[in-house]
Structure 1
Amino acid sequence: MQVGSQEAPSAIDDAEARIVVPQPRGRRRGVTIIHVAKQAGVSPMTVSRVINGDPGVREETRVLVNATIRELNYTPNLSARSLVTSRELRIGVIYANPSAAFMSGFLAGVFEEASARAAQLILLKGKQGGVPTHEEIEQLIASGIGGVILTPPLGESDAVRQILRDAGLPLAVVAGRVADAISVGIDDRRAAHDMTRHLIALGHRRLGFIVGNPDQTASAERLAGFSEAAREAGVETCVAQGDFSYASGLVAGERLLDAAAPPSAIFASNDDMAAAVVSVAHRRHLDVPRDLTVAGMDDSIAATTLWPPLTTIRQPVQELAGEALRLLIDEMRAAQGKGPRCVARVLDHMLVERESTAPPMR
C-alpha cells in the first residue's frame, strides 16, 4: 500500500488499495491541467482525454486543446496521464466529518471496495476538518482523478459539487440526498420513526431529541421521523440542536436535562452525541437506563465500547461507502458523453436493542 500521510486510520492499514493523500501546498506555480482547461474552455477531464489519445474526443476539440497546451507550454505529468482505464482507476475522496466513528466505518468500506476494484484513492481533507479550499479541490482535480466520492456534510455542499461538476467529474454522495449525483443512504425518516416508536413502546412519555448538523438532509429527516412518531402517540417532546459531534452532544444533553420537566428518554441523531448524553448523565449521578434511557443512531464503534452499550439504529456505513464507490466506478467505466447519472440507492437499517434503554422509573 502506498501511503502519503499519517492521517490514514490504523483500523484500515491492511487495505490493499493504493492511497495517495495530497498535502496542503502553497499557491500553485507553473501551468496545470486546470489552466489548460480554462484557457481552452473545456473540462480538465477532456484535456486528460486529449493527452491520453482518447479516440472519443472530437477532432476540433483535440486541435484546440493541443494548441492551448503548446501556447501555455504545459508539460503533462504522470498524474495527469492517469485517465480512467481498465488498468487503473483514480478516485478522489473528499471528507470533513466531525464523527470519527462514522469516518472509520466509511474509510473501511471505501478502501475494501477500492482494493477489490484495483482502484487508487486520493484523499483530501480540509484543514482542521473544515471544507477544503477551492484551490485544494482544483489540485485534486489536476491530479488526474476520474471521479469523486463525497462524505457528509460535503456531499450536500452546492459550492463543492459545482466545482466538481465544472470539471466534468462524476460524483457519488454518501449519507446525503442530492439531485445531480449518485446518492447512497438509508431512509433516515423511517429509521428515526422506528426508534421513537420503540421508546414509546417502552412506556416513555417525555422524549428528548438531539438534532444533527443543520446543513445535512439526514438531520432534518431524522427530526421529522421523531416528530411524526411522537405526534402519532401524543407524547411530550423537547428538542436541542447538535452537529453530530461529541462536544455538541454534551451541550445538548445538559440543556435537555436542565428542563423543568426533563425527558425520561433522550434520542440523539448519532452515537457520538448519544455517548455524550451518557457522560452527562453519569456526571449528574443518573443511572442509565434506570434514571435515563439513551438511544443513538449509526451503530458505530462508540455504541459497543460505551457503558452501558447503546441501543441504536444500525446504519451500514461500511456498506454505504462500498456501494457508493461501486456505482461511481461503474459510471466512470461507462460510455462517455452521456451526462451524469443520478442514482438514489437506499439500504436497509436495523434497530439494535442494548442496555442503554429500559422502561421509565417515574
Structure 2
Amino acid sequence: MSRKPRPRSATIKDVAARVGVSPMTVSRVINGQSGVGPEARAAVEEAIRALGYTPNVAARSLVTAAEPRIGVIYSNPSAAFMSDFLIGVFEEASARGVRLTLLKGEGGKPPAEAQIAKLAASGVAGFLVTPPLGESAAMLEVLGETGLPMAAVGAHGVAKAICVRIDDRRAAYEMTRHLIDLGHRRLGFIVGNPDQAASAERLAGFRAAADEMGDVEVVIAQGDFSFASGLKAAEALLDADPMPSAIFASNDDMAAAVVSVAHRRQLDVPNALTVAGFDDTPAAVMLWPPLTTVHQPVRALASEALRLLAAEIAAPEGATAVHVDRVLEHGIVKRQSSAVYRVRP
C-alpha cells in the first residue's frame, strides 16, 4: 500500500501570496522591522496563523532587534581580494548599524544548499555575495526563493539583484594598450575562472586592444584566479616559442605566480619579461618587483554594495526596488614590473 504524501509546510511565499504582499514584507513583520503599515502587518500575522507558518526560531529572536542583519556569503580563492572585501563590508556595516552573519564556501564554490537554506531561514534581511558566487545559478535560485533582496559584487546582469562592479572589459583593454604602448608585440594572457563573466570580459578587452593594432601576437593560457593556476599557466606561456615579452594575468595572485616562475627561470622582471596584474590587492606590492596592475576598488565595491542593500532593506513597502547595475571607476597603476620592450640578445 502506497503512503500518502506528507503535507507540505507553509512557506514565507505562501503567506505573501495569501495576503498579496511581497515575501520581503512578510520577513519584515516576522523580524519586527519598520516599513509595514498596521493593516498590512495585521493581515500578515493573520495569514501566518491561518496557514500554520512557523518562522525559524532564530528569526523569532530578532523581533525586538533594532539592527537589520545581512548574510554575507563568500568563497574566493584570492586571500588578498577577500581581505580587502571584508574590510570594506565590516567598515560600512559598522557605520550603518548593520549586523553581519558570514557563510563561507570552499575553493570558490558555493556553500552546500542546506547551509544556504539555513542562513536564509535564520531571519536575515538580505544577502551580500562575493565573486564568483554572484554568478552561481544554483545558489541564486536558492536565494531567489526567499524573496529577500540581494547584492552581488563583481557580477554582471544578475536579475533582481544589486550588482556593483567595474567595467572589466574597458580596464583590460586599457592595460593591454599600456603594454602595447611600451613596445610589446607578443603578449601572453592568463584567463580567470571560466565560470565568471568578469573573466570573459577581461579576455574580450585584451583581445580588442591586440586586434586593434594588427601586428600583435597573443598567447592564451587558462587559470582560475588562484596562485597555483597562475604557476601552471606561466609555465605554459614561458615555454612558448617565441615566448611573450609581456604577460597580463587576470588577477594579482596569478600575476605574482608569473613573477615567481620568471625568477626561478632566471628571467629578469621587467627587463626580460614585463608582468601585469588585475585588482591592485596588497599582494601587488608585497613582491619584487611591485606589480603594474589594474586598480579595482575592492573595498569601495563591497562598501557600496552593502550601502545599496541596506537602503533597499530599509525602504518602506511599495518603494521602488534598488535593483541597479552600479559601475565604479578603475585605474591603471604603473609600477616596476613593466618596462619598455627590449630586443633579447
Whether the TM-score (by the shorter chain) exceeds 0.5 is: yes
Report the AA paired with residue 166 of structure 1: E
Q: Does 1:183 align with 2:159?
A: no
Report the AA paired with residue 110 of structure 1: V
Relative to structure 1, the CA distance from residue 345 to residue 272 in structure 2 (aligned partners, 3 Å threshold; closer, same or farther) is same
After superposition, the CA RMSD in angstroms is 2.3
Deviation at 1:269, TM superposition (A): 0.5
Alignment correspondent of 2:51? 68
Deviation at 1:127, TM superposition (A): 4.4
Relative to structure 1, the CA distance from residue 207 to residue 51 in structure 2 (aligned partners, 3 Å threshold; closer, same or farther) is closer
Residue 37 (structure 1) aligned to one of 7, 11, 14 = 11
Deviation at 1:176, TM superposition (A): 1.3
Alignment correspondent of 2:86? 107
Deviation string for 1:208-238 (max 9, x for gaps)? 0001111111111110110000111121111
Local SS of the residue matching 2:289: coil
Alignment correspondent of 2:5? none
Relative to structure 1, the CA distance from residue 66 to residue 244 in structure 2 (aligned partners, 3 Å threshold; closer, same or farther) is same
Q: Does 1:281 align with 2:255?
A: no
Residue 223 (structure 1) aligned to one of 203, 207, 230 = 203
Report the AA paired with residue 220 of structure 2: V
Deviation at 1:96, TM superposition (A): 1.0
Alpha-carbon contact 1:83-1:144 (below 8 Å) kept:
no
Alignment correspondent of 1:57? 40
Deviation string for 1:45-93 (max 9, x for gaps)? 5554444565363655432311333xx7x475354343698x3110010
**Distance in 2 (alpha carbons) for counterparts of 1:276 and 1:246:** 6
Report the AA paired with residue 242 of structure 1: G
Report the AA paired with residue 93 of structure 2: A
Identity, % of aligned pairs? 60
Relative to structure 1, the CA distance from residue 83 to residue 276 in structure 2 (aligned partners, 3 Å threshold; closer, same or farther) is farther
Report the AA paired with residue 247 of structure 2: I
Local SS of the residue matching 2:40: coil
Residue 267 (structure 1) aligned to one of 244, 248, 255 = 248
Relative to structure 1, the CA distance from residue 352 to residue 106 in structure 2 (aligned partners, 3 Å threshold; closer, same or farther) is same
Alignment correspondent of 1:147? 126
Q: Does 1:311 align with 2:285?
A: no
Deviation string for 1:122-180 (max 9, x for gaps)? 00012455311111111101111011111011101122112112111111110111232
Alpha-carbon contact 2:25-2:317 (below 8 Å) kept:
no
Residue 69 (structure 2) aligned to one of 90, 107, 110 = 90
**Distance in 2 (alpha carbons) for counterparts of 1:83 and 1:327:** 23
Alpha-carbon contact 1:114-1:120 (below 8 Å) kept:
yes
Relative to structure 1, the CA distance from residue 99 to residue 115 in structure 2 (aligned partners, 3 Å threshold; closer, same or farther) is same
Q: Does 1:210 align with 2:184?
A: no
User: Which runs of 4 or more aligned residues in structure 1 lie more than 6 Å from their structure 2 counterparts after TM superposition?
Assistant: none
Alignment correspondent of 2:143? 164
Alpha-carbon contact 1:192-1:223 (below 8 Å) kept:
yes
Relative to structure 1, the CA distance from residue 271 to residue 127 in structure 2 (aligned partners, 3 Å threshold; closer, same or farther) is closer
Alignment correspondent of 2:3? none
**Structure 1 stretch 48-57 or stretch 298-307: which is displaced more?**
48-57
Deviation at 1:337, TM superposition (A): 4.5
Alpha-carbon contact 1:84-1:146 (below 8 Å) kept:
no
Contiguous gaps of at least 5 residues in structure 2: 1-7, 17-21
**Distance in 1 (alpha carbons) for counterparts of 2:208 and 2:71:** 38
Relative to structure 1, the CA distance from residue 126 to residue 83 in structure 2 (aligned partners, 3 Å threshold; closer, same or farther) is farther
Pairing 1:115-154 to 2, within 5 Å after superposition: 115-127=94-106, 129-154=108-133
**Distance in 2 (alpha carbons) for counterparts of 1:83 and 1:329:** 18
**Distance in 1 (alpha carbons) for counterparts of 2:151 and 2:13:** 28
- The TM-score normalised by the length of structure 2 is 0.88
Residue 333 (structure 1) aligned to one of 294, 302, 314 = 314
**Distance in 1 (alpha carbons) for counterparts of 2:320 and 2:147:** 9
Deviation at 1:338, TM superposition (A): 5.0
**Distance in 2 (alpha carbons) for counterparts of 1:106 and 1:35:** 38
Alpha-carbon contact 2:12-2:26 (below 8 Å) kept:
no
Alpha-carbon contact 1:49-1:83 (below 8 Å) kept:
no
Alpha-carbon contact 2:15-2:44 (below 8 Å) kept:
no
Relative to structure 1, the CA distance from residue 337 to residue 161 in structure 2 (aligned partners, 3 Å threshold; closer, same or farther) is farther
Local SS of the residue matching 2:57: coil
- The TM-score normalised by the length of structure 1 is 0.84
